[in-house]
Amino acid sequence: MKRTILIVDDHPSFRRFARRLLEAEGFAVVGEASDGASAVAACRRWRPQLVLLDILLPDIDGFAVADTLADEPQRPVVILTSSREASDYAMRLERTSARGFLAKAELSGAALAALVDRR
């Protein structure tokens, strides 16, 4: 069974790229969102198993969205992403409720699955 995923990023070109890549690698993309508020609403509507969540969003940052989603009854696994390196967010990544971080340049189905399956 395919894992369901929501892609959250304010750049339409990245959302298109991530959708094509992840669908080709066996994920079922249930939706997309371009900001934090839309991401929370989309999670409540579609209940994805996973959320690929950009850190820098136009309304609220990905860390705050991840914390909000952590309180949901059907909590999705959240993987944060950014065009910046993990070292730019080191302190915040240590304290986040998200499962992990994946740089946009390193996005692949295998890399995402490895983070999701990590306990």
Model confidence over 32-84: pLDDT tens digits? Answer: 999 999 999 999 999 999 999 999 999 999 999 999 999 999 999 999 999 99
Q: Give me the domain span that covers residue 52.
A: 4-117
**Total domains present in the chain:** 1
pTM of the model as a whole: 0.96
Residue 41, pLDDT score: 97
Q: How confident is the model at residue 1 (pLDDT cuts 50, 70, 90)?
A: confident
Check if the beta carbon of residue 51 is closer than 8 Å to that of residue 39. Answer: yes
What residue spans of the chain are helical by DSSP H? Answer: 12-24, 36-46, 62-70, 90-95, 109-117
By CB atoms closer than 10 A (0-12, 13-18, 19+), residue 13 is exposed
pLDDT at 119 over 70: no
What is the CB neighbour count within 10 angstroms for residue 82?
19
CATH of the domain at 52: 3.40.50.2300
d(CA 76, CA 19): 18
Tell me the average pLDDT across 16-35.
98
CA–chain centroid gap for 97, Å, is 12
Distance in angstroms (rounded) separating the CA atoms of residues 35 and 91:
23
Q: CB count, 10 Å around CB of 91?
A: 7
